[in-house]
Amino acid sequence: MAYHISPAPELPRATCALKFAIAGGGIAGLAAACALKLAGHDVVGVVERSDGTFQSRGGIQSTPGMTRTLLRWGFAPELQQHAHKCGVLVFRNGLSDDLIGRLKIDQDFLGDILTEFLFIQHQDLHNILRARLDAEGVPLLYNTSVDDVTISAEGATLALSTGQTLDADIVIAADGWNSALRERVVPDAPALQVVTEEQVTAPASPEHVLHLMFTVPTEKLAEDAELRFLTNRALWPMWMGQGFAINMNITTDGTALTATLTYDWDGEILAEDEEYVERPLAYFQLDLEKFCPTLCRLLSIVDTVSARVVTNRPVAEDVVCADSRIVLAGDAAHPLLPARPSLAIEDAETLRAIFARMTKPAERPRFLNAYEELRQPYCEGVVAYDRAFHQLVRTEPGASMDERDEMLRASMAHGGWEHIDEAAFRAGWETELRMYTFDAMEHVDSHWTHWGRYMKGEAGVVKRGKRRGASQQFFSGFTKSFTRLPPTYS
């Protein structure tokens, strides 16, 4: 498969290398480590409390911005092998199975944007990043947790559960939704906090959400006349139902269907339910009356799923600690469900693009301040929008569901499914298209043009704080989409 954006032959590297320690060996942590190595810095270790053998069943949609970043990092051969393009996006009502809309994605329709929209398995992306770090000789410390972090004028020291210590100039806390290091950055925030209606706008997010992933062999689907259509590799079908949304696609090698379900959860939550663990689907006792016959039939042939229940909470108000030594990235900074891995890749690319410019250690606090100014308000906006959107697609039957379906139809039906008015579609889906095409490197470059002299310490002293210039301008251009969010970021 050919991609029309080539990886950069050589990326700029810092002339002054810092030492980074990474807490968390998921996508966010591995991506940060890869990006910082590309920027010319030392990664003294990636600390991961699991044994590293868990195999994710989930699929990832690599947005055009995320795809460009991975290509820029030199992963074109890996994407050629493990990723493929979306051909047709199909929306269906999850209760009735009625067709809401279908969108054919090709060079003739939004070809400058959506032809870089790729499918890749979560596990494949994890393996690609891990292989790069192995080749670079970065220590990957599995079965290890961070017991404590001591901060001094010289740097940060991580005390590990193995008795080992790691010394670093900066610690990247990419340790996930239930981050142990998050409280070191935002000490006054509760460990878990429900997202309220006022914070999200639109209907309030449910307190708990089940995130469930599974795969089904395509040969098994091919044996069922009613499910055989799901073996079409070009399809990206999505059902939106009563308190749930599910999307799925065929894996790049064509051997399996991979699906991701989010489901409003009001059942009991045990401690083990808050970790991704493989269990029988029956364990969760889903209310199948909410699902259309096609989905019920599909779920009936699913044996094992990997799933967890999460508690919604807001984006961290600060992503850099007061001492400018600990930095939040990934879900530790902006917990979002279902996972939007593009945010984690953007965090890593922002770190790379900023710290590739480093020439002396004294720039560290100002560079971290820039990272916070660029990422915190932007991610806060994305999370608020995404949660409101997913509340819309998981709405209750009746007038609300009918209105949702009609709004989606109207946004996709200009001139028929095969001949949608591109200008009208761009106007109706402006928010999604801008998020999909967001390029973190370009965001940093724009910020550097305006504030580079301050970041280098050449234009007086800049107090640490949230100026929020570039990110605020980005959100001020968003129009109201069919989710009807108020212009919070204008």
- Please give the Cα distance from 120 to 151 (Å, whole number): 39
- Please give the Cα distance from 245 to 389 (Å, whole number): 11
Structural domain count of the chain:
1
CATH number at residue 386: 3.50.50.60
Residue 413 lies in a domain: no
What band does 195 get if pLDDT is binned at 50, 70 and 90?
Answer: very low
What band does 484 get if pLDDT is binned at 50, 70 and 90?
Answer: very low
What band does 481 get if pLDDT is binned at 50, 70 and 90?
Answer: very low
Average pLDDT value for residue range 156-167:
98
Among candidates 388, 428, 367, 435, which has minimal Cα distance to 113? Answer: 435
Pairing between strand 156-160 and 146-151? antiparallel
CA distances from 438 to 30, 34, 64, 123 (A): 21, 20, 8, 24
What band does 106 get if pLDDT is binned at 50, 70 and 90?
Answer: low
Domain that holds residue 134: 19-84+118-194+314-391+435-476
C-beta of residue 470 within 8 angstroms of C-beta of residue 377: no
| Residue 112 vs residue 94, higher pLDDT | 94
Q: Which helix (H) or strand (E) holds 450?
A: helix 440-455
C-beta of residue 387 within 8 angstroms of C-beta of residue 200: yes
Residue 450 lies in a domain: yes
| Range name among 191-205, 254-268, 377-391 with the lowest pLDDT average | 191-205
Q: Please, is 88 exposed, middle or buried when counting C-beta atoms within 10 Å of its C-beta (0-12, 13-18, 19+)?
A: middle
Residue 276 lies in a domain: no
Reading the block at residue 18, the tokens are 């810092």
Average pLDDT value for residue range 358-366:
96
Tokens 């074109």 sit on residue: 76
How many residues are recorded in the chain? Answer: 490
pLDDT > 90: percent of the chain: 60
C-beta of residue 238 within 8 angstroms of C-beta of residue 295: no
What band does 480 get if pLDDT is binned at 50, 70 and 90?
Answer: very low
Give the DSSP per-residue string, 212-223.
EEEEEEHHHHHT
Among candidates 90, 83, 81, which has minimal Cα distance to 119? Answer: 83
